[in-house]
Structure 1
Amino acid sequence: MESAKEESRLWRRAGTEGAVKRALYIDCCIRGKQSRTRKVAEAFLAALPKTWKVTTVNLMREDLRPLSGEFFAGREELLQTGKIDDVRFDRARQLAAADLVVIAAPFWDMSFPALLKIYIENVSVEGITFRGTEEGLRGLCRAERCVFLTTRGAAYAPGDPMEQALPYLRAIQKFFGFGALDCVAADGLDLDGADADALVAEACARAAALAETL
């Protein structure tokens, strides 16, 4: 399997040569095969046109660490000395080179699992995924679309302060420079009387329909 560094190099070259489009699937479906969110993601990926080459980053299998202590200090030293080609930033390069970013994560504790936040912390690298300018921050990621796939036990209207996943990802969309953010959510799965299977199936159909347009 190609390293993330080699993969991102090939992705950038493919983009300049008009070759296969590259999709990065960030899997944060904590419950694995039992995950309802993963069902929605699988429907999306199955319907994605074959012109897309999909690479999966399974966050449950990644060696992800929060930015703290010596781990954080080592990162800061690399950035301050301009060593952004270090292997530590391979995942950031991989994200920056993707043409499409797909994130699958369930609704947990008003947003999403901590693993996804830790991943975002690690790929937020100045000079790779964003840059500071005199006008402010500018995203450097090439993806024209970011798709967020999720499932929620309750139902949340747009703008509900109890739902913080989408507002956060909309900020990340601007921060990284993604062209657009689409969300497919299965809502109200755990409410009394809800037909969870039917709601998930309906979200799978919407996810597939979105994928077919890409």
Structure 2
Amino acid sequence: MTTRALVVTSSILGAQGQSLALADHFTARSKERAALEITRRDLVVDELPHLGVDELSSWQVPAAERTPEQRALAGRSDGLIDELKAHDVLVLSVPLYNLGIPSQLKAWFDRVLRAGETFRYTDKGPQGLVEGKRAVILAARGGQYAGSELDSQTPHLKSMLGLIGITDVTVVFAEGLAMGEGHRDASLKEARQAIDGLVTTL
């Protein structure tokens, strides 16, 4: 049985980005497994615009009643949601920018976190509609933040994933990458080893 993994990258540094290097390592290891199929989406190469009111409003119009412009606008979100639902594992390759996620990744989340499609409101609060999936976060950071009050990124990502029903989340950290060559090399080696072990469980 084939497992499909969607790898979403968001580094603005291209080939120099350490989070992208982690995604590349994950992809390379995954290709060694015949039962693991990979789809890559680079949110910098295929950048989404910030969500605007016209696009948001297009979601509220029944599909059969949308204008051509509204169909095109709604199609962005529809396509990303369909892509997410078609995969078993979501892999987010995430650099840390000013203690947060890249705006490109936020634009992606703004379109896949959609009431009525990936979650719904109930009298007991939001209920996720994207169930039975795993998520992996590959987090690359210049400093050391995991487990500290400065790491607002990890809870934010887990909360957004949880909103749509993805609660099985594994985080691989590569930290201290700007704290000297020795520290960087050791941290990346540890992260790659963690990825190697993780791929065998997918």
Deviations 1:6-38 (A, max 9, x none): xxxxxxxxxxxxx52221111112211111112
SS at 2:34 equivalent: coil
- The C-alpha deviation readout for 1:31-62, integer Å capped at 9, x for no partner, is 11111112212222222332121111110122
- CA drift at 1:143: 4.5
Q: Which AA in structure 2 matches 1:73?
A: S
Aligned partner of 2:35 among 43, 46, 51: 51
1:132 aligns with 2:116: no
Aligned residue in 2 for 1:11: none
Q: How far apart are residue 120 of structure 1 and its match?
A: 0.1
Letter in 1 for 2:8: I
Q: Deviations over 1:130-162 (max 9, x none)?
A: 12223221111134310000111111241x221
- Amino acid aligned to 1:50: A
Stretches of structure 2 that go unaligned for 5 or more consecutive residues are none
1:151 paired residue among 116, 140, 152: 140
The DSSP-based 3-state class of the residue aligned with 2:96 is coil
Pairs within 5 Å for 1:165-180: 165-180=153-168
Check conservation: 1:96, 1:129, Cα contact below 8 A: no
1:63 Cα shift?
A: 4.4
**Structure 2 letter corresponding to 1:201:** K
The residue number in structure 2 matching 1:112 is 101
Give the match's secondary structure for 1:77: coil
Tell me if 1:73 matches 2:57.
Answer: yes
Describe the SS at the equivalent of 1:60.
coil
- Report the residue type matching 1:198 in the other structure: A
Offset of residue 194 of structure 1: 4.4
2:176 paired residue number: 188
CA shift in 2, pair 1:60/1:184, >3 Å: same
User: Match of 2:21?
Assistant: 39
SS in 1 for 2:160: helix
TM-score (norm 1): 0.80
The 3 A distance-change label for structure 1 pair 106 and 61 is: same
RMSD: 2.4
CA distance, structure 2, for counterparts of residue 104 and residue 72 of structure 1: 26
The corresponding residue for 2:11 is: 29
Number of residue pairs matched by the alignment: 193
Q: Taking every aligned residue pair, what percent have the same amino acid on both sides? A: 27
Cα 1:128–1:52 shift into 2, 3 Å: farther
Structure of greater relative contact order (alpha carbons < 8 Å, 6+ residues apart): 1
| Aligned CA distance change for structure 1 residues 68 and 167 (closer, same or farther; 3 Å) | same
- Unmatched tracts of structure 1, length 5 or more: 1-18
